[in-house]
Amino acid sequence: MRDKFGYEVVLEKPKDRSFGHFATPVAFSLAKELRKSPMIIAEDLASSFSTDSEVFSSVESVKGYINFRLSENFLSEYADWALTNPSGFAKQENKQKVLLEFVSANPTGPLHIGHARGAVYGDTLYRLAKHLGYDITAEYYVNDAGNQIDLLGLSIALYARENILNESVEYPEAYYRGEYLEGLANAALEKFGKEIFSDESRYKELALWAKDGVMEIVVDSLAALNIHFDTFVNESSLYSDWERVMKKMGEGIYKKEDKMWIASEAKGDDNDRVVVREDGRATYLAGDIVYHNQKFERGYDHYINIWGADHHGYIPRVNAAIEYLGYDSKKLETLLSQMVSLLKDGEPYKMSKRAGNVILMSDIVEEIGADALRFIFASKKSDTALEFDISEFKKQDSSNPIFYIQYAHARINTILSKSTIPKEEILASKLKGLDENADSLLFDALLLPEVIEDAFNSRQVQKLTDYLKSLAASLHKFYYDCRIIGSEDEAKLLKMFMLVALSLKTGLSILGIEAVEKMSREEEI
């Protein structure tokens, strides 16, 4: 369409398929510019497609809209190519270099359910980009500096003194709690001896050692969710570069009241912000400044951060720093991930005593499985609140969307196994002369490339889950409404089903979910 009109146009799917496969309201947006009626513009544009019969069987203007119907030849040949090249289906070539940072939780304890949402969102964006040919790097920023790390050493020492040395201890208002401290305390006892727990001067040493153990827990729990990172950057490794970066900031950094400030208000922030305290300790923002300078010095074309919604206020501060560093802040895109509320059988999910005061991500993965959790968190816009009942995703029926989609894929494999027509003959058949229902299902299956591109470009990964739910529902309805095995068009219908299976499998793979080939209750839905 870009070649025809000279710019991108909006294509919509008409609710009434009798109008065609696509429609565009472009004539309405051109009416003011051309000073013509949208209906006249639509008629003129539609007539210009009259010779383009290889792709379209008809292009018509209807009340100012332009409706397109794809030709049988185009749909059939496209289906042939997809089934012959399944690994290349819906893929593109886009060599833009993108750095995607997500999760980046403090290495002070296991990931909780809030971290899981950003993790799934980030990994799904990563997979979409990979499929579209982007040269993308998934990165985890390890916040291993500052008060939270000091608190880790203190928390381990207090746990060990009470539970290993059997001492009476007084806990401060702020400290970490949870079952994971037991493993760290016992490992520390073996490595350092019990003396380290009573020597406050060694708590920093204890913390720096322990954070590597916590990161192992974090990486393992992410792997259980089928999430992996290409690179890790430790905050503690960046501060040796702080002096150089401060000089690079120029007028963006100034001293007042024995503190170092960033002049972020001049760049759109509400106020200037402290980056170094009176006692010389760097703030969280200081680490972000050095880290983002390092990011931009690595020379990517685009940068994406996925942060928790509570970090919203940091966006103008970091953008201000990027501008002072001499870079284009428009190259940095910050996406937010909202909190999650969990229910179980309609009641608030109880926090595990062993987890301290949070719901562990690993507990939910263990209860409903990685596939269900990934699907849930990908199925709603990340910047909106999410509440779900985990009991719904343990059901083995059509009310569970991931089960319903997996069931559709497995059902196709079962139907194919019941046919006596050789696979070669099925693949050799041409998808022409299909009735309206079959044509509609074929078209929906071939829409996956557009859905993937739109989901990534809009950063709305739920468009992929919505598409898979819709495609699965269409498949099930077609199965009940139409005879397949033994019908005159059996080979063509089976080939169409193979294409539906390919779209389901490809879409699930991008969601980090493996398609199921066979299910035990296939005749019950």
Question: What digits encode the pLDDT tens for the residues 260-277?
Answer: 999 999 999 999 999 999
The pTM of the full predicted model, rounded to 2 decimals, is 0.91
Residue 63 identity: K
- Strands (DSSP E) contained in 319-475 are 332-337, 340-344, 347-348, 386-389
pLDDT of residue 484: 95
Distance of CA 246 to the CA centre of its chain: 34
Q: Cα–Cα–Cα angle for 294, 300, 303, nearest 5°?
A: 80
**Which pLDDT value is given to residue 508?**
98
pLDDT tens figures, 420-468 = 999 999 999 999 999 989 999 999 999 999 999 999 999 999 999 999 9
- Over residues 388-404, the mean pLDDT reads 88
Does the pLDDT at position 2 exceed 80? Answer: no
- What is the model's pLDDT at position 302? 98
Question: What confidence score (pLDDT) does residue 46 get?
Answer: 76
H/E stretch holding 74: helix 72-84
Strand, helix or coil at 175? Answer: coil
Of the pLDDT bands very low, low, confident and very high (cuts 50, 70, 90), residue 351 is low
| Tens-digit pLDDT profile for residues 317-333 | 999 999 999 999 999 99
- Amino acid (1-letter code) at residue 185: A
Helix, strand, coil % in the chain, rounded to nearest 5 = 55, 15, 30
DSSP 3-state of 349? coil
E runs forming strands in 120-229: 135-142
Q: Compute the distance between CA of residue 69 and CA of residue 72 in angstroms, rounded to an integer.
A: 9
The average pLDDT across 512-521 equals 87
Q: Which two tokens stand for residue 329?
A: 């802040």
pLDDT of residue 357: 67
What's the pLDDT at 50? 60
Q: What is the pLDDT of residue 52?
A: 54
pLDDT at residue 525, rounded to an integer = 44
Cα separation, 43 vs 50, in Å, equals 11
- What confidence score (pLDDT) does residue 523 get? 47
What is the per-residue pLDDT for 524?
47
How far, in whole angstroms, is CA 98 from its chain's centroid? 15
CA angle 267, 105, 241 (to 5 degrees): 55
* Range of weakest confidence among 46-55, 231-240, 375-384, 498-507: 46-55
Q: What 3 state SS string does 419-435 have?
A: CCCCHHHHHHCCCCCCC
Helices (H) then strands (E): counts for the chain: 19, 14
Question: pLDDT confidence of 396, banded at 50, 70, 90?
Answer: confident
On the question of pLDDT at 110 being above 90, the answer is yes
Tell whether the model's pLDDT for residue 246 goes beyond 80.
yes
Element of type H or E holding 187: helix 180-192
Joined together, the tokens standing for residue 344 give 């179980």
Residue 336 pLDDT level (bands cut at 50, 70, 90): very high
- Which pLDDT score, from 0 to 100, does residue 343 have? 87
pLDDT tens column, 143-158: 998 889 999 999 999 9
- What region does 326 belong to: left with phi over 0, alpha with psi -120 to 50, or beta? left
pLDDT per residue over 408-423, tens digit each? 999 999 999 999 999 9
Q: pLDDT band for position 3 (50/70/90)?
A: low
The predicted pLDDT at position 5 comes to 56
Structure tokens belonging to residue 53: 């019969």
Residue entry with tokens 């920023």: 141
In 3D space, the residue among 482, 472, 494, 477 whose CA is nearest the CA of residue 409 turns out to be 472
Please give the domain boundaries of the chain with CATH numbers for all domains.
2-70 (3.30.1360.70), 74-93+395-510 (1.10.730.10), 102-236+338-388 (3.40.50.620)
Q: Is the pLDDT of residue 249 over 60?
A: yes
Nearest to 338 by CA among 159, 508, 181, 121: 121
**Half-sphere exposure at residue 310, Cβ-oriented, CA atoms within 13 angstroms:** 5
Q: What are phi and psi of 379, to 5 degrees?
A: -95, 5
Mean pLDDT taken over the chain:
91
Whether residue 138 has pLDDT greater than 60? yes
pLDDT of 437: 92
Average pLDDT value for residue range 499-506? 98
**Would you state the structure tokens that stand for residue 151, as one six-digit string?**
């608190």
Share of the chain above pLDDT 90, in %: 74
